[in-house]
Structure 1
Amino acid sequence: MDFQPGPSPATGLAAGPLPAYRARVTAGQLKPDPAQELAAETLQDLWRRLRGYDPSTEAPDQGGFLSRFFRRKPVPEAPEGTPQGLYLVGEVGRGKSMLMDLFFACAEVPRKQRIHFHQFMQDCHQRIHRWKQANPGEADPIPPLADSIFAQAALLCFDEFQVHDITDAMILGRLFEALFARGVVVVATSNTAPDDLFKGRPGRDAFLPFIALIKQRLNVLHLEAERDYRRERIRGLPTWHCPVDGRAERALDSAFLELTGQAQGAPCRLTVLGRNVEVTETARGVARMDFDALCGRALGPADYLALATHFHTLVLDGVPRLGPENFDRARRFVTLVDALYEHRCKLVVSAEAPPDSLYESGQNAAMFERTASRLMEMQSQDYLVLPHLT
Structure 2
Amino acid sequence: MPCSLARPLQLGTVSTSPITEAAPVSLCARAPHVPADRLVAEMVPPPRFDSVRFETYVPDPNQPSQSEAVTVLSSFAAGLGGAHAVGARRRWFAKKPAATTGPRGVYLDGGYGVGKTHLLASLWHATPAEPALKAFGTFVELTNLVGALGFQQTVQTLSGHRLLCIDEFELDDPGDTVLVSSLLRRLVENGVALAATSNTLPGKLGEGRFAAVDFLREIQGLSAHFRPLRIDGEDYRHRGLPEAPAPYSDEQVTKAAYATEGAALDDFPQLLDHLSRVHPSRYGALTDGVRAVCLTDVRPVPDQSTALRLVVLADRLYDREVPVLASGVPFDRLFSDEMLNGGYRKKYFRAISRLTALARDAKGLVAQ
Q: Does residue 90 of structure 2 align to residue 52 of structure 1?
A: no
Instruction: Report if the CA contact (8 A) 1:39-1:221 is conserved.
Output: yes
When residues 171 and 182 of structure 1 are mapped into structure 2, their CA distance, relative to the original with a 3 A threshold, is same
Correspondence for 1:241: 248
Q: How does 1:15-30 map to 2 (within 5 A)?
A: 20-21=55-56, 25=58
Q: Does residue 341 of structure 2 align to residue 339 of structure 1?
A: no
| Equivalent residue letter for 1:104 | W
Q: Does residue 68 of structure 2 align to residue 38 of structure 1?
A: yes
1:231 to 235, 238, 244: 238
Instruction: Report if the CA contact (8 A) 2:60-2:66 is conserved.
Output: no
Instruction: Report if the CA contact (8 A) 2:307-2:335 is conserved.
Output: yes
When residues 301 and 107 of structure 1 are mapped into structure 2, their CA distance, relative to the original with a 3 A threshold, is same
Instruction: Report if the CA contact (8 A) 2:248-2:327 is conserved.
Output: no
When residues 144 and 122 of structure 1 are mapped into structure 2, their CA distance, relative to the original with a 3 A threshold, is closer
Q: Does residue 6 of structure 2 align to residue 2 of structure 1?
A: no
Q: Does residue 108 of structure 2 align to residue 88 of structure 1?
A: yes
| Equivalent residue letter for 2:283 | V
| Equivalent residue letter for 2:335 | A
Instruction: Report if the CA contact (8 A) 2:104-2:188 is conserved.
Output: no
1:125 to 147, 159, 181: 147
1:276 to 270, 275, 279: 279
**What whole-Å deviation, never above 9, does each CA across 1:316-339 have from its counterpart, x for those lacking one?**
55659xxxxxxxxxxxx99x9653
Instruction: Report if the CA contact (8 A) 1:194-1:211 is conserved.
Output: no
Q: Does residue 154 of structure 2 align to residue 145 of structure 1?
A: yes
Moved more, 236-245 or 104-113: 236-245
The structure number with the bigger radius of gyration is 1
When residues 3 and 186 of structure 1 are mapped into structure 2, their CA distance, relative to the original with a 3 A threshold, is farther
Q: Does residue 228 of structure 2 align to residue 220 of structure 1?
A: yes
Cα distance between partner residues in 2 of 1:65 and 1:46? 17
When residues 221 and 208 of structure 1 are mapped into structure 2, their CA distance, relative to the original with a 3 A threshold, is closer
Cα distance, 1:279 vs. partner? 3.2
When residues 145 and 123 of structure 1 are mapped into structure 2, their CA distance, relative to the original with a 3 A threshold, is closer
Instruction: Report if the CA contact (8 A) 2:124-2:136 is conserved.
Output: yes
The alignment partner of 2:253 has SS state of coil
TM-score, normalising length: structure 2: 0.55
Cα distance between partner residues in 2 of 1:42 and 1:59? 25
Instruction: Report if the CA contact (8 A) 2:135-2:163 is conserved.
Output: yes
- Return 5+ residue gaps in structure 1 as ranges: 8-12, 67-74, 129-141, 198-206, 255-269, 321-332, 351-390
Instruction: Report if the CA contact (8 A) 2:107-2:228 is conserved.
Output: yes
Cα distance between partner residues in 1 of 2:258 and 2:120? 30
Greater relative contact order, per chain length (Cα 8 Å cut-off, separation 6+): 2
TM-score, normalising length: structure 1: 0.53
**What whole-Å deviation, never above 9, does each CA across 1:121-158 have from its counterpart, x for those lacking one?**
12222222xxxxxxxxxxxxx3432111223x321112
Count of aligned residue pairs for this structure pair: 263
Q: Does residue 192 of structure 2 align to residue 170 of structure 1?
A: no
| Equivalent residue letter for 1:112 | K
**What whole-Å deviation, never above 9, does each CA across 1:199-253 have from its counterpart, x for those lacking one?**
xxxxxxxx9562441x21111111123x3213327742314233124546889x9
The alignment partner of 2:176 has SS state of helix
Cα distance between partner residues in 1 of 2:100 and 2:90? 16
| Equivalent residue letter for 1:160 | E
When residues 38 and 317 of structure 1 are mapped into structure 2, their CA distance, relative to the original with a 3 A threshold, is same
2:97 to 69, 78, 89: 78
| Equivalent residue letter for 1:2 | V
CA RMSD of aligned residues (A): 4.8
1:109 to 113, 129, 136: 129
Instruction: Report if the CA contact (8 A) 1:305-1:340 is conserved.
Output: no
Percent identity of paired positions between Structure 1 and Structure 2: 19
Instruction: Report if the CA contact (8 A) 2:43-2:137 is conserved.
Output: no
Cα distance between partner residues in 2 of 1:271 and 1:183? 38
Correspondence for 2:195: 187
The alignment partner of 2:229 has SS state of strand
Cα distance between partner residues in 2 of 1:301 and 1:101? 33
